[in-house]
Amino acid sequence: MKELGAIYTVLIVDDSDIEREGIRFLLGKLGYGFAVHDASSGSKALAILEKTDVDIMLSDIRMPYMDGLELARRAKQLQPKIRIVIFSAYGQFEYAKKAIELGVRNYLLKPVDITEFKNLLDILVSQLDEERAKEERMRALIEGSSKNAAFGGGEHYDLEQGIRQLLEMTNLNQMADISKSLPKQPETVFKPVSADDIEKRKVIEKVIGIIHNHYMDDLNLEMLSERLFLSPSYFSHLFKKETGTSFIKYLTAYRLERAKEYIENTNMKISVIMKKVGYNDLSYFCQLFKDSYGLTPAKYRERI
């Protein structure tokens, strides 16, 4: 979910109001046209990541309760493609080493050097532009092949050529995924639902079944896409196309609905309910619940 007119979405995370406002001001001055969100803690940042697609996260490394490295680890679980920039006033090698182990390649020291900051953002935006163009081209090839196949093919419809073009943009491990997404030649031009469409629905029905039966476990997009032999980006696109919402939003909504039922029908402690629906951070869980139902779990229980 991106703001209208915004190119990419940025999340600033810092427990200092002054630091957050400073970065927000700097982003505005540099003129990238980002949609900017900010959070004063790791738990609030995760609540935003549950609801909003974020392209770049800018996070301080030293914060109370949840530091920037733990936030980066959990952010990657929620949104595997997110770009993360870690800020630190401390130049110790250990911080940089841990960040690199978590897949964070962008590490800047405070106070921020404006030229260095701008150069890094230019690189990240260029990477995002390239990734977006690649995904749009892939989608166009798939949809174009589907339209041609629906009318019995033709001189411009070449399934093997389509696969070769897609392989230019991805790796060999995704070959099976992409070839599955390209349509089979239909038996009749009047067939209302293709075998490919049915297969896609079966995949999503399987995912929904996993969510309903294992919502209390550590589920994430990357793990499920690997289990289904799909690339994370294609799985994310397919899930949203078939359900109308993102995987993360669906999982969160289902977990919170189960939590609400436990609160309404049992005397379990909120901390126990939190774990039963798949969360380990109480403040994070309470923030998510409040965002969805307007009250914290404790206040909701009092009301009923």
CATH assignment at residue 92 = 3.40.50.2300
Domain-terminating residue out of 181, 213, 240: 181
Looking at the structure, tell me whether residues 231 and 304 fall in a common domain.
yes
Split at pLDDT 50, 70, 90, the class of 182 is: very low
Task: Kindly tell me if the per-residue pLDDT of 3 is higher than 60.
Answer: no
Q: Total structural domains in the chain?
A: 3
Task: Kindly tell me if the per-residue pLDDT of 92 is higher than 80.
Answer: no
Looking at the structure, tell me whether residues 243 and 295 fall in a common domain.
yes
Higher per-residue confidence, 63 vs 91: 63
**pLDDT > 90 in the chain, percent:** 31
Would you state the pLDDT for residue 206? 84
pLDDT in tens, 98-113: 666 666 767 787 788 8
Higher per-residue confidence, 296 vs 175: 296
Contact 66, 42 (CB under 8 A): yes
Cis peptide before 192 (omega within 30 of 0): no
Which tokens hold the place of 237? Answer: 């696109």
Looking at the structure, tell me whether residues 158 and 218 fall in a common domain.
no
d(CA 210, CA 196): 21
CA dihedral 73, 75, 76, 79 (to 10 degrees): 170
Task: Kindly tell me if the per-residue pLDDT of 119 is higher than 60.
Answer: yes
Sign of the torsion angle spanned by Cα atoms 269, 299, 71, 94: negative
The answer to whether residue 187 sits within a structural domain is: no
Looking at the structure, tell me whether residues 201 and 248 fall in a common domain.
yes
Looking at the structure, tell me whether residues 304 and 271 fall in a common domain.
yes
**All residues at 6 or more sequence positions from 103 whose CB lies less than 8 Å from its CB, including other chains:** 72, 76, 84
Looking at the structure, tell me whether residues 281 and 198 fall in a common domain.
yes
Would you state the pLDDT for residue 20? 92
pLDDT in tens, 137-178: 777 766 665 555 555 554 444 545 555 555 555 544 444 444
d(CA 197, CA 2): 27
Looking at the structure, tell me whether residues 87 and 158 fall in a common domain.
no
- Dihedrals φ, ψ of 220, to 5°? -150, 160
Give the distance between the most distant pair of CA atoms in the chain. Answer: 68
Burial class (CB in 10 A: 0-12, 13-18, 19+), 86: buried
Residue with tokens 């599955």: 180
d(CA 187, CA 20): 59
- If DSSP states are collapsed to H, E and C, what string results for 91-118? CCHHHHHHHHHCCCCEEEECCCCHHHHH
Ramachandran quadrant class, 235 (left: phi over 0; alpha: psi -120 to 50; beta: rest): alpha
State the residue range of the domain holding 56. Answer: 9-112
